[in-house]
Amino acid sequence: MEKATHFDYIIIGAGAAGLMLASAFIKDDFFTNTSILLLDRDTKRSNDRTWCFWEQGEGRFESIVFKKWNHIYFGGEEFSKDYSISPYQYKMVRGADFYKAYFDELKGKSNITFQQEEVAQIADMGSKVNVTTNRSSYSASKVFSSSFDYKMATHQKKYPVLQQHFVGWTVKTEKSIFNLDQATYMDFSIPQKGNTRFMYILPFSKNEALVEYTLFSKNRLPKEAYEEAIIHYLENDLKCDTYKITETEQGSIPMTSYDFSEHHTKNIRYIGTAGGWAKPSTGYTFMSTAKKIPVLVDFIKTGKPLNTLSFKNRFWFYDLLFLDVLAKHNDQGHKIFESLFKKSTPQLIFKFLDEDTTLLEDLKFISSCPKIPFIKALLGRLT
């Protein structure tokens, strides 16, 4: 049989956004008679990343949640505290488990095809979109791409572009040093060195955890700098000099309120991180994507041009002010978070970051932040 080259929809990237969109397509009767091509350069079988999120009760990803925690720890220079986060739980999904679950779901669906190919170019021709890969050429009525490059955002100066960049080690220790039911959400007790730097720990048992060195800043570091920081934290802060590294991960997530809208066209829509779906102030993308996919799917059914859908709301502006402050005063980031956790609760913080707060709750959250730098940022945006 000759290989099909034209599809109704092409999804570029089989990560969280791409697979969630493909899953939404096959579950909706509207798309039953449509043809869908899913492209990715990787087989998506390795545990190449982890996603974390907070949630009340059991949610849609419960069957693939690897671990969850009922408590978090926040550590600062002048304020530190252990918190119960009920009714929330902090949850973790492993990349390998996510990919397997979603590919198993897609398996056997006659209207969806997966090809392991690297996309070189996409072009909206008006009546169709042409997609060129390292092996083939395809066309589609609509294309959804999660292919991200920092140049998509850094070409402009109106909105700051920071990175949440990190290296993490999963370590097994001889001694029982981890609190099994408590995730270290942020520990700013480490040297800041002119940036916003913290340790992040997700314990899997009393002697196994993901230990991650994370920065919110403009530029990445040499890999050795992250690794040296993790070693120093393990040996000096956790008093652990004997451990085995079982897995490693590293990454960079854009932190920007640039909305990526200029990259969309009538027939091409960028999704996931490439669509600006990473929460600008935190880098959390997984649940943000899960919430936006149903909105996008309903919009596709209208037949309207893909570049007319906007997700911008008042939280976009809050994030913009935060990033303006963080970009100008990156060495003071730890003070912002310390003020938030000291004057507020993790429950309100989570609700605000989920963009579920009322205006009154917004004001309560904002009042927990240092006033002067945010007032200056606001005035800077209004003038």
- pLDDT > 70: what percent of the chain? 99
pLDDT score at 46: 84
Q: Is 330 helix (H, G, I), strand (E, B) or coil?
A: helix
pLDDT of 235 higher than 50: yes
Domain assignment present for residue 266? The answer is: yes
Domain assignment present for residue 80? The answer is: no
Looking at 231, 255, 279, the residue that finishes a domain is: 255
pLDDT score at 49: 87
Per the DSSP assignment, residues forming a β-bridge with 170 are: 210, 247
Contact call for residues 164 and 283 (beta carbons, < 8 A): yes
Within this chain, do residues 172 and 288 fall inside the same structural domain, yes or no?
no
CATH number at residue 25: 3.50.50.60
Q: Which tens digit of pLDDT belongs to each residue from 204-234?
A: 999 999 999 999 999 999 999 999 999 999 9
Within this chain, do residues 165 and 195 fall inside the same structural domain, yes or no?
yes
Of the candidates 66, 93, 20, 85, the residue with the CA atom closest to the CA atom of residue 353: 85
Within this chain, do residues 186 and 248 fall inside the same structural domain, yes or no?
yes
For residues 167-177, one letter each, b for 16 or more C-beta atoms within 10 angstroms of the residue's C-beta and e for the rest, the string is bbbbbebeeeb
Backbone angles phi, psi at 10, to 5 degrees: -120, 130
Number of domains into which the chain is organized: 3
Mean pLDDT of all residues belonging to the chain: 95
Within this chain, do residues 243 and 267 fall inside the same structural domain, yes or no?
no
Mean pLDDT on 315-327: 96
Q: What is the DSSP string of 37-92?
A: EEEESS---S---EEEEEEES--TTGGGEEEEESEEEEE-SS-EEEEE-TTEEEEE
Within this chain, do residues 150 and 168 fall inside the same structural domain, yes or no?
no
pLDDT score at 57: 95
Within this chain, do residues 236 and 353 fall inside the same structural domain, yes or no?
no
Rounded Cα distance between 225 and 212, Å, is: 12
Q: Which tens digit of pLDDT belongs to each residue from 120-152?
A: 999 999 999 999 999 999 999 999 999 999 999
Domain assignment present for residue 182? The answer is: yes
Within this chain, do residues 175 and 108 fall inside the same structural domain, yes or no?
no
Domain assignment present for residue 368? The answer is: yes
Which residues form the domain of 336?
A: 314-382
Mean pLDDT on 80-109: 96
In order of 27, 76, 81, the CA distances from 85 in angstroms are: 33, 18, 12
Within this chain, do residues 204 and 301 fall inside the same structural domain, yes or no?
no
pLDDT score at 1: 40
Position of tokens 């932190």? 255
